[in-house]
Amino acid sequence: MSEDSRQIPAERFATRLAACRAAVSEHGFGALLIGVGPDLRYLTGFVGEPMERLTLLVIPRQGPVSFVVPHLEASKAQATPLSAAGAATVVPFEETADAFTLVAGLLAEAGTAAGSTALPIGLSDRLWAMHVLGLQRAASGRRFGSAGPVMRDLRQVKDADEARLLRLAARAADRTVDAIAAGRLVGRTEAEVSREIRGRLIDEGHDMADFAIVGSGPNGASPHHDAGDRRIEAGEPVVLDLGGTLAGYLSDTTRTIWVAGEASIEPGPEFRRVYELVREAQSQATAAVRPGVPAERIDATARELIAAAGYGDLFTHRVGHGIGLEVHEDPYMIAGNTTPLRPGMAFSVEPGIYMPGRWGVRLENVVMCGANGAEVLNQSGLALRLVRG
Ligand code: ZN
Ligand code: ZN
Ligand code: ZN
């Protein structure tokens, strides 16, 4: 398979399902019920949006795995790599049937065969309340819990196919940032630049542009400022935070650039000092990544440096979040998360300093924990860029 292939081979899904089954027993569940969302995509390859009709992968601790779907989606479910490989059986239901009763029947059958009817059923985090309530009604004798911890253990360590797709997405985001920094900004609104970013994210290989934050001047002091009508001026910084989805996997990168304009207005000493502080915090936090280090240590590394320079109160968010099929997922780099890093964990390292009413600086790379340290997936430069146009 070529390095830039977007396909995930069917065997990979069978491997993931086998690991999930082992975890179902380890976590003491009788079965897991996985609704439409990233967990289902991870296990089956099924791509779709949740809707009122129930779509559910039923994974008992023993026995056949059923993919319960509305009749009109049966062929789509059958074509997923997991079903096509014969590792799950598609169970379609008719438009007038009660899908919850159908699922309750499958659970009862599998539970009786495995002697596990007293064990709780794990529900995926993204299952809608209307579905949870329907299942509780139809399987009224059963206890329900969260499948979140099971799926987190599996998904937070990326396999080789996921790592490849995260790299492809990161590079596509890098090319987008580089193109924006090489273009014209003065006099354009944030919204115009944001639209250009979205277009470029697609042109560079994403299937979807998910976000394109453009925070110019004072707007950069709000970390999740979107993009508005403000016109970018010469002599101010702009925070660009952008990402898209490529074959299901997210990119997410931030660069803060200085708009010098044709008048070549240089940044002042305070901006330069803050920029270099954030750059150093980003670099030291990345250097702290290695197997066994608690996730909170990555946050603390950046935070201690920024606090020592007197800007601790202006670094108002955790330093990073896991990334994969979701833009924010486990593991979170935040005080209190003692999860030891493991090879294959992918997450952002994105310290920032926000000067209210003036400007902000944030620099963000996605990194993956390797055997000896971080593999940095984003490769566009971190040195301050001065945009002349
Ligand atoms: Zn964010
Ligand atoms: Zn971001
Ligand atoms: Zn991020």
Which residue carries 């056949």 as its tokens? 64
Q: 3-17, 55-69, 192-206, 273-287: lowest mean pLDDT where?
A: 3-17
Give me ligand 3 centre to Cα 76, in Å. 32
pLDDT tens sequence across 256-313: 999 999 999 999 999 999 999 999 999 999 999 999 999 999 999 999 999 999 999 9
Q: Would you say the C-alpha torsion 264, 269, 270, 276 has a positive or negative sign? A: positive
pLDDT tens sequence across 146-187: 999 999 999 999 999 999 999 999 999 999 999 999 999 999
Q: Strands 208-216 and 236-246, how do they pair?
A: antiparallel
Give me ligand 2 centre to Cα 95, in Å. 41
Give me ligand 3 centre to Cα 37, in Å. 20
Question: Can you tell me the distance from the alpha carbon of 299 to that of 349, in angstroms, rounded to the nearest whole number?
Answer: 8
List the structure tokens of 96.
């007038």
* pLDDT above 80: residue 2: no
User: Closest-lying ligand to the alpha carbon of 348?
Assistant: 3
Q: Per-residue confidence at 23, pLDDT binned at 50, 70, 90?
A: very high
pLDDT tens sequence across 323-375: 999 999 999 999 999 999 999 999 999 999 999 999 999 999 999 999 999 99
Give me ligand 2 centre to Cα 273, in Å. 22
For the sheet with 121-123, list strands across it. 89-93, 66-70, 56-60, 31-35, 121-123, 144-146
* pLDDT above 80: residue 314: yes
Amino acid at residue number 225: H
What's the pLDDT score for residue 4? 62
* pLDDT above 80: residue 246: yes
Nearest Cα residue to 85 out of 109, 62, 68, 65: 65
Average pLDDT, the chain: 96
Give me ligand 2 centre to Cα 197, in Å. 13
What's the pLDDT score for residue 3? 54
pTM score above 0.85: yes
What's the pLDDT score for residue 303? 98
Give me ligand 1 centre to Cα 169, in Å. 17
User: Closest-lying ligand to the alpha carbon of 366?
Assistant: 3
**Please, what's the largest Cα pairwise distance for the chain?**
77
For helices 10-26 and 148-155, give the axis angle rounded to 10 degrees.
Answer: 140
Q: How many CA atoms lie within 13 A of 70 on its CB side?
A: 12
Give me ligand 1 centre to Cα 253, in Å. 10
Q: Residue 91 to residues 13, 31, 54, 69, 70: CA-CA distances in angstroms?
A: 19, 17, 12, 6, 8
Contact call for residues 116 and 27 (beta carbons, < 8 A):
no
What's the pLDDT score for residue 9? 93
Which residue carries 């996605």 as its tokens? 366
What's the pLDDT score for residue 11? 93
Q: Would you say the C-alpha torsion 99, 102, 104, 107 has a positive or negative sign? A: negative
* pLDDT above 60: residue 1: no
Give me ligand 2 centre to Cα 163, in Å. 18
Considering the chain, what percentage of its residues have pLDDT values greater than 70? 99
Give me ligand 1 centre to Cα 156, in Å. 18
For helices 269-287 and 295-308, give the axis angle rounded to 10 degrees.
Answer: 150
What's the pLDDT score for residue 116? 87
* pLDDT above 90: residue 226: no
Give me ligand 2 centre to Cα 254, in Å. 5
* pLDDT above 70: residue 221: yes
User: Closest-lying ligand to the alpha carbon of 243?
Assistant: 2
DSSP secondary structure code for residue 155 in this structure? H
Give me ligand 1 centre to Cα 224, in Å. 7
User: Closest-lying ligand to the alpha carbon of 323?
Assistant: 3
